[in-house]
Chains A and B, each alone.
Chain A
């Protein structure tokens, strides 16, 4: 199971690395650059496809229009030639041939041969220009021959028209009697009384369509084809398809929709346009695969460009991210080093934010080092003060005197008092030491000062009284130990004992106010002159120290310990009124936590 987990860990990406700034920068840059790039490529592809399709359509339309225009011009030329059908010689020939006047018609015969051959010579695509009469006698460029009118479609079309319908008729493609592939156009010839005399016809080589359309290409493999009214191909670049059904090209059933408009059928793009006078259709057929191939080429180029761009972007992003994050990495490594050695300095190489951060970090390190030095000094000082406070509290003569009192009590067999004294003294020392803990519960601090007062009052012979009023709610908070005892000692020796009165009272109050804990040590002794109170307070606030012998060492020791431990917002303040007494106010922060004394006691 462990093996599986370790393998999975190896296989899965290291997500912690993904959270690095470098990775984020890389991802951000890539997202910012690649998404627009890909969107642009997709948009460009479809825009190009649309433009290409439109261009193909326009080009096909242009080509077909050009073919149609060329054919129309050619057909209009043929129309002008056919206007010669009312020529005098033609009419005379028709009339004389109808009455079978052989001798009389010789002149017109030779004249017409010459004229018709001149017309044929004028337009090289013409294969035959001929006049056919009602008897089937046809005079043309190759002489006079006989035509079976029942088999002559063009003649039948024109013979069935009225003189008012003077439009050109089309027939074919078909094979002429000389074996050439032609299509025929013709017009009816009418006599003086609108009587039908015959027709004038022109046979045009089918190669004409090839000459017009052969070289026209729609793309590489697209082409133009011409289809007659019956759906038979009359021109196709592949000659073997001529004469076949257009269904071969467009698929069966072919319908009629291909004759006009633009649409796609299978792989073919088809555009048809009717050639009105002939009832033919010009059809442009392009290979869709060619378009797709063109687009594939474009897509390949696009993908190559995108791929190249992505690689370039990735490389640039990697380099840029590396360039940007290198100072950060250096900073990070410097910070890691600083965690172990505060004497480390960050090498600042840039003036940007990272450089500023390095400088700030260096400043911070300097400050930390200063603070550390300061802290060490303060701790050292605090320990010294504590030691001094402890020395002050446990003065030898206090111990001797207390022990003498106990001896005196033993001598007078006041055993119960002895027991109380010893218990009080023991508790006093235990709390004083507190197993080296700096912080003790307020309850213990109060108990400590209570023991102290009990001992001192017993020693001093009930010359004064004391009262302790501490709110039960604050007793579980913590305080620096041995804060109250020096204040109480001052209240005893400089307050109630220095008074001649025997009604001295020391009042100790403890309460919480505005998120702090306040202790008041009040005595009703002789008080202190105002200037001395000001000097003491000034000394407590960091002013000049008091002169030696003027006392106040205990107050300053307590104040300095509080300030060192909790900051300048805390400490003590003295107020006094001569003749009425002195009050010392001690302000501490609210500190929650387990008592050291209790915990040590529990361990015992």
Chain B
């Protein structure tokens, strides 16, 4: 299986930026003298989602390296209202930079624009709000991720010889308004359309909560055992213990097809146990690292390479689940 890396051009650009920053930092006398360190606040969709662990850690390390203060603030559970309140609080506190993972792009546009108007450098990461005045987006190209998931589904269906068979398909997503999830579903549907015959039965939501995701999947399969395929727009259902999903486990053994986003350690573990036949991963560490570094650049009025910084994808299937597991760090946060 092929593992996509960061494009060499991006790496080179970043290196030039970093170097020019270091060299020019002392020479930039036109900037106002700061009385406090630069504060960058990252606002995830929620605090309880372990998927952000790697983003947070990478961001903190990057912040340390950049000698800036990093804050990680957000609602404990996905809650766009609280997210808006938090961004407003950050505007009041006049932090230097904000990076938002948008749980509802439409509702966050206004507060993002307000922050930008207040002179704060605002970026989005993971989930974009393209209609806002944010400075840049840093993260996965979610449409591409959806397309890759679709391609994986087509490949599995064709390998089983079910190309012409109508497959009862269910989608599990975190929320219906998150830009990243909408893009993934759009990419998935476009990649499968005309190639295989997927009959979408339901779009389940879980508010990006691991427990809710597993519970909803179990409940749906209990009621609809005739389901043939699942597309998981995020790996929330597999972050809990596999024993918590006995019906799904049985459904998988009975030949159910599942393709999921994310390649975290527990997701890979679940996939290795047969819970998914293909995974499409995101580079969360790069997401954290890039968002801090580019925000620092923005704060320091340095040029940015693009307003859309793709952090790349990681494709996994049954052939490389084991190999990838060896490269991942097991979670010990719960």
Contact = CB atoms under 8 A, between A and B. Distances in A.
Interface of A: 100, 102-103, 106-107, 109-111, 113-114, 117, 141-146, 148, 176-179
Contacts of B53: 106, 110
B105 to A, nearest CB: 21
Nearest to B39: A146
19 contacts: A107-B332, A110-B53, A110-B334, A114-B76, A141-B76, A142-B47, A142-B75, A143-B72, A143-B74, A144-B73, A145-B41, A145-B71, A145-B72, A145-B73, A146-B39, A146-B69, A178-B85, A178-B89, A179-B92
B239 to A, nearest CB: 12
B50 interface: yes
Interface in B92-139: 92-93
A148 B37 CA distance: 11
Contact of B89 (A107, A111, A117, A177): A177
Nearest to B88: A179
Contacts of A107: 332-333
B56 interface: yes
Contacts of A176: 89
B60 A102 contact: yes
Contacts of A179: 85, 88-89, 92
B60, B64, B92, B334 pick with most chain A CB within 10 angstroms: B60
Contacts of A100: 64
B73 A142 contact: yes
Contact of A102 (B61, B71, B92): B61
B252 interface: no
B154 to A, nearest CB: 37
A117 B76 contact: yes
Helix, strand, loop or mixed for chain A's interface? Answer: mixed
Contacts of B72: 143-145
A85 to B, nearest CB: 20
B57 interface: yes
Given A110-B334, A143-B72, A145-B71, 17 more contacts: A102-B61, A102-B64, A106-B333, A107-B333, A109-B56, A110-B47, A114-B76, A117-B76, A142-B73, A142-B82, A145-B41, A145-B73, A146-B71, A148-B36, A177-B89, A179-B88, A179-B92
Contact of A144 (B36, B71, B88, B332): B71
Nearest to B44: A143
B247 interface: no
Nearest to A140: B73
A144 B57 CA distance: 12
B48 interface: yes
B176 interface: no
A142 B76 CA distance: 6
B86 interface: yes
Contacts of A148: 36
A452 to B, nearest CB: 151
B50 A110 contact: yes
Interface string B179-201: 00000000000000000000000
A450 to B, nearest CB: 149
A142 B334 contact: no
Nearest to A143: B73
B60 to A, nearest CB: 5
Q: Which 10 A-B pairs have the closest CB atoms?
A: A143-B73, A110-B333, A178-B89, A117-B76, A145-B71, A102-B60, A143-B72, A177-B89, A113-B47, A144-B72
Interface string B20-55: 000000000000000010010100000110100100
Contacts of B334: 110
Contacts of A146: 39, 69, 71
Contacts of B82: 142
Contact of A113 (B39, B61, B76): B76
Contacts of A113: 47-48, 76
A100 B86 CA distance: 25
Nearest to B58: A102
A178 B333 CA distance: 27
A142 B60 CA distance: 17
A100 B36 CA distance: 19
Contacts of B75: 142
A4 to B, nearest CB: 92
Nearest to B41: A145
Contacts of B332: 107
A228 B105 CA distance: 43
B64 A143 contact: no
A179 B48 CA distance: 23
Contacts of B93: 177
B246 to A, nearest CB: 26
A100, A103, A114, A146 pick with most chain B CB within 10 angstroms: A146
B316 to A, nearest CB: 23
Contacts of A117: 47-48, 76
A313 to B, nearest CB: 74
Contacts of B36: 148
Given A100-B64, A106-B333, A177-B89, A143 B57 contact: no
Contacts of A143: 47, 71-74
Contacts of B85: 178-179
B3 to A, nearest CB: 24
B83 to A, nearest CB: 10
A114 B211 CA distance: 14
A177 B92 contact: yes
A548 B85 CA distance: 153
A194 B53 CA distance: 33
A117 B76 CA distance: 7
A148 B39 CA distance: 12
Nearest to A177: B89
Given A100-B64, A114-B48, A106 B57 contact: yes
Contacts of A141: 76
Contacts of B76: 113-114, 117, 141-142
A107 B48 CA distance: 12
A177 B93 CA distance: 7
A101 B39 CA distance: 19
A110 B72 CA distance: 11
Nearest to A110: B333
A515 B254 CA distance: 160
A476 to B, nearest CB: 133
Contacts of A106: 53, 56-57, 333
Contact of B57 (A103, A111, A142, A145): A103
B41 to A, nearest CB: 7
Contacts of B60: 102
B271 to A, nearest CB: 23
Nearest to B37: A146
A142 to B, nearest CB: 5
A303 B89 CA distance: 64
A102 B57 contact: yes
B57, B69, B76 pick with most chain A CB within 10 angstroms: B76
A103 B59 CA distance: 11
A110 B50 CA distance: 8
A107 B53 CA distance: 9
A102 B55 CA distance: 12
Interface string B311-334: 000000000000000000000111
B122 to A, nearest CB: 17
